[in-house]
Structures are given as structure tokens and as C-alpha cells.
Amino acid sequence: MRNLKVEISKDSPKASWDEILEAAKDEAGFLQSADWARVAEATDKARPFFLTVLGSGGVIAQALIMKRQNFDREKGRRRSPLPYLECFDGPVVINNESAFVAVEEIVKSALSLARRLLASHVTFSSAHTSVWRNDERISAIYKKHGFTTTVWATYLIDLRLDEEDLFKNLRHASRKNVKKCMRQSLQVVKMNSVNEFESSYWDAFQRSKKYFGRKSTPCFYESWEDGISNYYHYYVVKDKYGNVLACLGMYIFNGLATEIASAISPQAYENKIPAQDLIHWELLLEAKRMGCHTFDLAGINPFPKTSKESGIKRFKEKWGGTYVEYNIYLKQMMPWLSQMRTFIQSLRQAI
């Protein structure tokens, strides 16, 4: 296809950017939206670049590419002087007949941008619902330009089923756990304000991270800003005494709900209270009530390397979803830097 033109807009997109994403439906995820760019800018000082591929008939593809740093949210500073580029849920193909040439133009433009910005690496990964998510012909384009491919996976739950069929599709253990929580009068409560989110959800989320030995992070206020709060929804499980036993959030875009920020309290973990089963079930119903057609249980390693990864895979496969694999493409712009980091890590372990 001739007469292609790639336009790059820094910091702000064209007025039609999100309208094109909405028209693209399953090809476009929230992480390609202008609102996600605002969130990433506010939380991690990231900088967006909006790439549009134009053909004779108009826009045939577009990609939001974020210039990011290894950023310490707690201290509000960069951990590394070098940036990197990432494009998640994209590129978004508008014209399938021009998919291959359009993707290649975006990849070449991204690599040119990476060289200009001295980026350490570039990452691409299509939306999990995209028809191109693991297409071999698309993979060949990335390979041609020096990218390596990692296969990742998720489970997509069809919310167009009625509630009874959704429940039947759950594994027996999940149905049993949901009923057990209901008998114990556990309640799933939605966070309706930023103050409620901070004092209830985020407090419990951080306590869980500390209990399991993970680093805490400052409260994520940006998702409550005007215009962005329409996408994000947060919930907790409470017992009859008001104790928070589990947390789970989701963001919604183009009829797809994607889970985020999951946590279980030390109390629920130690007493084997299946609060995460209850909150997952209730969020499936909540997303369905909001008009979503699919629930994305987010990423899993299809070939688990640790007991933790195996546990995550077992938990997510019991919800009756369709197993879907997708590709993550990575190009190291400075291979020597990656080799140096590996050497330093090995040296530290040896010492």
C-alpha cells in the first residue's frame, strides 16, 4: 500500500483519537486511550506519543506509545536515567486489509523514536481481544526488526451468558466457596469516593502487600479524577464486623472489564476464607450489569516457573473463561546494558 503517512503527536492526541478506538471495538483496549495517557503521566511522569497511520481512505491504524522511566512512586524520582518505550493494547488496526503494512510503519516509527530518545528498550503487546494478538504474520514483522517474542496468556469470560449459566461454568470449588462466603454474610462493597477508597481499599491493599513481603506504594488518586473515574471501579469484601478481607478493582473500556489490584488480607489468608472467590464472582456480575460483554482475568504465565505463578494460573482457570494466548514483543536497544545488569545481579548473588 502506497502513500502511507505516519503522524506523531506529542503529549496530546487528535480530537478523534478515542472515538476511533471506540469504533475499533475489540481491537482497542483502555491502555491505548487518551485518558490512560493522563493516568500514566500523573503517576509515573510518563510522556505519551500518539502515532497515526494515514492512508488514502483516512486512519488505518494508530498507537499510543508511552515514554516511561523506571520510576519510584514513593520517592517521586527516577531510578534510571534512561527511558523506555511501551505500547500496550496496541497498535490498534482500523483497516484489516492494511494491517501488516500499518503495523510495520508503526514499529519503524517507534524504533526511530527510541533511538532519538536513547530508550533502553521497546515493548509492544496487542489487546487481549484483538484478532492480531498472536498472529504469525504480525510476529514475523517484529522479528524482522529485531524483536523477541514472549507468549503470555489470560482467560476471557463471556458475560453475555445469563447469571445461571455463568455460575454453572465455574469450577465446583469456586461455586462452593462463593456459597460459603454468602453463608458467612460476607458483603462486597463498592468504593464510592476517593476518601473511602483510601481508608478502606488502599489501606487493606498495602497491609496485604506488606504481609506478603512486597513493597508498598503511595495511594493511587489519579483514577478518581473527573473523566477517568468512569473507567475505574474498586470493591472490597467485608465481614459482619467491618473488617476488609479482600480487594479487587477493574477498569472498563469498549465493553471489556479487566481486573486490577487484587489483594487478600492476612486474616482471610490465615483463616482460609475464600474472599477472593466471592469478590471475583460479584465483579463478574457487576461488569455484566454495566453492559460489559467480556471480563479479562489479566495475565498468566502459560508455562509457570514458580509455585506462585502456578497458583495464579490455577485460580484464574476455574472461572469458566476461554484460554487466550497473546504475544509480547521486546527489542533491546542497548543489548550491552541488559548484559551488564545481568552480570551485576549475578555478582550480587555471588557476594
What percentage of residues in the chain have a pLDDT greater than 70? 92
Contacts of 277 (CB under 8 A, 6+ apart): 174, 177, 178, 181
Answer yes or no: is pLDDT of 309 > 60.
yes
- pLDDT given at position 349: 62
For residues 31-53, average pLDDT: 94
The burial class, CB within 10 Å (0-12 / 13-18 / 19+), for 131 is middle
Q: Are 17 and 61 in contact (CB under 8 A)?
A: no
Give, as one character, the DSSP assignment of residue 259.
Answer: E
Q: pLDDT tens digits for 217-229?
A: 888 899 999 889 9
Q: Are 13 and 54 in contact (CB under 8 A)?
A: no
**Cα–Cα distance measured from residue 64 to residue 52, given in angstroms and rounded to the nearest whole number:** 9
pLDDT category at 247 given cuts 50, 70, 90 is very high
Q: pLDDT tens digits for 126-160?
A: 999 999 999 999 999 999 999 999 999 999 999 99
Instruction: Say what the pTM is.
Output: 0.91
For residues 336-349, average pLDDT: 60
Q: Are 235 and 282 in contact (CB under 8 A)?
A: yes
- pLDDT given at position 188: 98
pLDDT category at 337 given cuts 50, 70, 90 is low
Neighbours of 72 (CB within 10 A): 13
Answer yes or no: is pLDDT of 21 > 60.
yes
Q: Are 70 and 80 in contact (CB under 8 A)?
A: yes
- pLDDT given at position 344: 60
Radius of gyration of the chain, Cα coordinates, nearest whole angstrom: 21
- pLDDT given at position 70: 77
Q: pLDDT tens digits for 257-308?
A: 999 999 999 999 999 999 999 999 999 999 999 999 999 999 899 999 999 9
Q: Sketch out the chain's domains with CATH numbers.
A: 5-152+326-350 (3.40.630.30), 160-292 (3.40.630.30)
Average pLDDT, the chain: 92
For residues 148-177, average pLDDT: 97
Answer yes or no: is pLDDT of 336 > 70.
no
For residues 153-173, average pLDDT: 97
Q: pLDDT tens digits for 82-98?
A: 999 999 999 999 999 99
What percentage of residues in the chain have a pLDDT greater than 90? 83
- pLDDT given at position 347: 58
Q: Are 311 and 149 in contact (CB under 8 A)?
A: no
